[in-house]
Amino acid sequence: MSESTIAAISTPQGSGGISIVRMSGDKSFDIIKKIFKPINNRALDKEKDNRMMRYGHIEKDGRIFDEVMVNFMKGPNTYTREDICEINCHGSMISVRDILNLLLDMGCELADRGEFTKRAFLNGRIDLSQAEAVLDIINSTNELSQKQGLKHLSGLLREKIEEIRNIELEALSRIEYSINFTEDGEDLPVDNIIDFMQKAYDEISKLLATANKGKLVKDGIETTIIGKPNVGKSSLLNVLLNENRAIVTDIPGTTRDSITEYINLGNLTLKINDTAGIRETHDEVEKIGVQRSKELAEDADLIIAIFDRSRKLDHEDKMILDMLKGKNAIIILNKIDLDSKISKIDFDDSFKIIETSMVSRDGVDKLEGAIFDIFDSKELNKESLMITNLRHERLLNSSRKKLESSLDDIKAYVPIDCVEVDLRSSYDDLGLIIGETVSDKIMDKVFREFCVGK
Ligand code: GDP
């Protein structure tokens, strides 16, 4: 348990109905008792008022700071496992700032970023992957990423990692036994050890196979909208965003800089990289735009290619079609409110083709369905546990690599203590995911991403 009692504002900055100022640590009860004046005059009681809401004022030296509801929670059954007190005050910057200052004057220390969650981790209530899940839930932009966050928070990843570590431990303990208790490693049950190692290898591989989907769920689908100038790229973005962030204009090539926007489509989030018009040009500024568009299309998880249905396909359109080969792409034939010069049959029917008007918004709703089909959002929904965190993915990769090398060694009859070194290192990498052997440096890096007050 930590020596200090920490305090912070746990709700977002700005005015709102309510804000919460939170304390955690041994002194929480003494401090709140000194500054809280209950309306019904019954003094705050550590046992009776545990997990109860009390109504009153925060008051000190005759000054009333605010009318509040106070919720005291006795450790260890709390978020941090320490005594916690949450003061629900009015959501004004003045109230929260003054109450926080008062708590600091009364002996609290200002909490660091993520320090409440860090305490929950240090006090053994959650492992590091669960602490990271808290952050994922706070930052989730769609239902699936929030659900995955909740799964990780419930300890599902920790259980899986522990299961794999236990399998590796079976192999390790047999190796250690033979090193310590038999002469020259004789009687080593090699086949048996290989079986355990192979099983652990397969389990790590299965987890790693979910990382791509996990990334889509958590970080969003990298989407690039491409098409010649004036086909309706900015208009589409505006329709999707439902607000005018991108400039819609009649002048070709004015959307020169790339803008990234996030669009939430129920279970999925699109991270849309709007680009400068793709076309061959002698204009230096636009050349950068074309190059960038090509790069973005290269890296994109999804390309939305727009064509103007009221114009014949030209050389530039064909260049754009070439870019789509082998990619997840949706073709939009826009401007169906005008006379048509092209139709679906002019396109490769392996792609989803949607006809739209950005003016009347006809057909735009079909885009969402097409995206869901490509990314099989129903399948994503079924996936029980996904790797969504890059730190976890890297550690799993590193663990698997070491396991692979120890498997190669044992099969090649390399001395068993060499096999043991890599296997132990693979085991330790898995431990880092749940924070078993974690260094201060890694811990600081994880919690630095949190906001103050969580
Ligand atoms: P971008 O250069 O590809 O981003 O194209 P914009 O979205 O700026 O659109 C170019 C012009 O076409 C603007 O004047 C839009 O109002 C117009 N436009 C976009 N979509 C449609 C559509 O579906 N029908 C018609 N008639 N005009 C459209």
**What atom of ligand 1 comes closest to residue 357's alpha carbon?**
23
Domains contained in the chain, CATH given: 4-126 (3.30.1360.120), 130-212+388-433 (1.20.120.430), 219-373 (3.40.50.300)
252 is annotated as contributing to ligand binding: yes
Residue 29 scores a pLDDT above 90:
yes
Residue 26 scores a pLDDT above 60:
yes
Parallel, antiparallel, or unpaired: how do β-strands 221-226 and 268-274 relate? parallel
DSSP states along 294-349:
HHHHHH-SEEEEEEETTS---HHHHHHHHHTTTS-EEEEEE-TTSPPS--GGGS-T
Structure tokens at 339: 């006379």
Q: For the ranges 45-59, 266-280, 398-412, which has the lowest average pLDDT? A: 266-280
- The per-residue pLDDT for range 53-93, each reduced to its tens digit, is 999 999 999 999 999 999 999 999 999 999 999 999 999 98
Kindly state if the Cβ of 247 falls inside 6 Å of ligand 1: no
Residue of the CA atom closest to atom 17 of ligand 1: 232
**What atom of ligand 1 comes closest to residue 248's alpha carbon?**
8
Pocket probe mutation, ligand 1, options 235, 307, 341, max atoms within 8 Å of Cβ? 235
Residue 362 scores a pLDDT above 70:
yes
Residue predicted with more confidence, 139 or 149: 149
Parallel, antiparallel, or unpaired: how do β-strands 16-24 and 84-91 relate? antiparallel
Provide the pLDDT for residue 144: 82
| Nearest-10 crossing angle of helices 115-122, 128-139 | 150
Kindly state if the Cβ of 148 falls inside 6 Å of ligand 1: no
Nearest to 116, CA basis, from 161, 78, 69, 150: 78
ω before 38 within 30° of 0 (cis)?
A: no
- The per-residue pLDDT for range 179-198, each reduced to its tens digit, is 777 665 566 788 899 999 99
What is the distance in A from the centroid of ligand 1 to the CA of 349? 25
Angle at 253 between CA 228 and CA 273, to 5 degrees: 70
Q: Read off the pLDDT of each residue in 3-12 and give the average, rounded to a whole number.
A: 93
22 is annotated as contributing to ligand binding: yes
Q: Read off the pLDDT of each residue in 431-437 and give the average, rounded to a whole number.
A: 89
254 is annotated as contributing to ligand binding: yes
Element (H, E) at 7: strand 6-9
Q: How confident is the model at residue 272 (pLDDT cuts 50, 70, 90)?
A: confident
Residue 280 scores a pLDDT above 50:
no
Element (H, E) at 146: helix 143-153
- The per-residue pLDDT for range 211-263, each reduced to its tens digit, is 988 888 887 888 888 888 888 888 888 888 764 333 333 434 444 445 567 78
Single-letter amino acid, residue 308: D
Q: What is the pTM of this model?
A: 0.73
Kindly state if the Cβ of 362 falls inside 6 Å of ligand 1: no
Pocket probe mutation, ligand 1, options 226, 228, 248, 334, max atoms within 8 Å of Cβ? 248
Provide the pLDDT for residue 344: 85
Single-letter amino acid, residue 321: L
Find the Cα–Cα–Cα–Cα dihedral 268, 245, 450, 216, rounded to 10°: 20
What is the distance in A from the centroid of ligand 1 to the CA of 236? 8
Q: How confident is the model at residue 278 (pLDDT cuts 50, 70, 90)?
A: very low
CB 22 within 8 A of CB 10: yes
Provide the pLDDT for residue 420: 92
Kindly state the DSSP code that residue 132 receives in the 8-state scheme. H
d(CA 5, CA 27): 6
Residue 377 scores a pLDDT above 70:
no
140 is annotated as contributing to ligand binding: no
**What atom of ligand 1 comes closest to residue 252's alpha carbon?**
2
Kindly state if the Cβ of 249 falls inside 6 Å of ligand 1: yes
| Nearest-10 crossing angle of helices 416-434, 390-411 | 170
d(CA 289, CA 292): 5
10 has which bridge partners?
Answer: none
383 has which bridge partners?
Answer: none
Q: Read off the pLDDT of each residue in 387-400 and give the average, rounded to a whole number.
A: 94
* Burial (Cβ within 10 Å: 0-12, 13-18, ≥19) of residue 49: buried
Provide the pLDDT for residue 358: 92
- Highest averaged pLDDT of the listed ranges 4-18, 133-147, 439-453: 4-18
What is the distance in A from the centroid of ligand 1 to the CA of 228? 11
Kindly state if the Cβ of 335 falls inside 6 Å of ligand 1: yes
Residue of the CA atom closest to atom 2 of ligand 1: 230
d(CA 42, CA 54): 10
Residue predicted with more confidence, 37 or 320: 37
Phi, psi angles (nearest 5°) of residue 265:
-115, 80
DSSP states along 113-172:
BTHHHHHHHHTTSS-HHHHHHHHHHHH--SHHHHHHHHHHHTTHHHHHHHHHHHHHHHHH
Provide the pLDDT for residue 263: 80
What percent of the chain lies above the pLDDT cut of 90? 52
- The per-residue pLDDT for range 310-343, each reduced to its tens digit, is 999 988 888 888 888 888 999 999 999 999 898 8
Residue given tokens 């196979």 in the structure block: 209
What is the distance in A from the centroid of ligand 1 to the CA of 45? 67
Average pLDDT of every residue of the chain: 86
What is the distance in A from the centroid of ligand 1 to the CA of 197? 59
Q: Read off the pLDDT of each residue in 84-104 and give the average, rounded to a whole number.
A: 95
**What atom of ligand 1 comes closest to residue 237's alpha carbon?**
7
62 is annotated as contributing to ligand binding: no
CB 66 within 8 A of CB 95: yes
